[in-house]
Amino acid sequence: MKVFVTGATGYIGGSVATALMAAGHQVVGLIHPDNDLAAVRERGIEPVAGLLDDSKLLREVASGVDGVINAANVDHRGAVDALLEALEGSDKPFIQTSGSGVIADGAGGEATEAIYNDDTPLKVLPARAGRAALNEIVLGAASRGIRTAVILPTMVYGTGTGLNPASAQVPQMIKAAKKFGEGKYVGRGLNRWSNVHIEDLADLYVAVLERSEAGKSYYAENGECSMREIAEAISRLLGFNGATGSLSIPEAIEQYGEMMTTLSFGSNSRVRATRAHDDLGWGRKQLSLIDDIERGSYAEIEAVGAR
């Protein structure tokens, strides 16, 4: 297939583009005009310079390809509307990137027993209501003759294979640990997040593109950890012998910002990727999160930085 990927230089989008090309697909990538288009071409991606706000451009490109993956701003309603309009009646695949943060509970570091599977009704905080609603719009567009799907990544870790290889949450926790001399978690650190390696996640996009039924959503996870467990692994990585400590909510907000504290580092997001595992035969091939921190990509990054 010839696949249009928005966010093709990003952490997720770039890794998805690499996986698509490895699977024999062609990739057309939406690239911010300020980026180095030559570097994108060197990776085998056909670049299209533009922005998500350019609805006309999105419709034109989407009309000329075999499928579309939106891996840029996952809350951009205008871009989604334009892409769906271009694909209407084509039976072509459209994959929307979302995130399991739609079920973040603002628990302040406390645990929860709530675990979501692909069909569990969502309990959504106001800050994520728009994203959850957009997911439903995409899934509902299956009735318009589009093979729509939504992928909800959990905590994504590992080094990506695109032009932007850095993950989000783990590096921020590593930065905080270096600042304080110990691994840090919010509150009691009992809150848990499901997680997925970036390369495994990219493989899921390929599987969904090639084999998904219309109107399906897919959580992407291959395990889970508490934030305290992650902080302990980071502490060992940095030579702090597993020493950890708590950040109060105000301290965490000062370190990470209010949104990241409430919806990420202090929240639970526990899901099970039942549909991806059972229907698509997808599963983990890469290191677990803890192993990747202590002896995988994050350990390699720290070793390079120490030289």
Do residues 241 and 251 both lie within one domain?
yes
Do residues 151 and 38 both lie within one domain?
yes
Do residues 210 and 74 both lie within one domain?
yes
The reported pLDDT for the residue numbered 303 is 87
Do residues 68 and 101 both lie within one domain?
yes
pLDDT at residue 100 above 80? Answer: yes
Predicted confidence (pLDDT) per residue in 225-267, tens digit: 999 999 999 999 999 999 999 999 999 999 999 999 999 999 9
Length of the chain: 307
pLDDT at residue 307 above 70? Answer: no
Tokens of 286: 């890469």
Q: Can you tell me the mean pLDDT for 173-178?
A: 97
Predicted confidence (pLDDT) per residue in 38-63, tens digit: 999 999 999 999 999 999 999 999 99
Give the Cβ contact number of residue 134 at 10 Å: 20
Tell me, what CATH number does 81's domain have? 3.40.50.720
Domain-embedded: residue 87: yes
Give the number of domains in the chain: 2
Question: Domain range holding 124?
Answer: 2-107+115-159+195-220
Determine the Cα–Cα distance for residues 227 and 252; give it in Å rounded to an integer.
13
Domain-embedded: residue 123: yes
Q: Please state which of the ranges 26-40, 59-73, 76-90, 133-147 shows the lowest mean pLDDT.
A: 26-40
Predicted confidence (pLDDT) per residue in 275-291, tens digit: 999 999 999 999 999 99
Do residues 121 and 184 both lie within one domain?
no
Tokens of 303: 């070793």
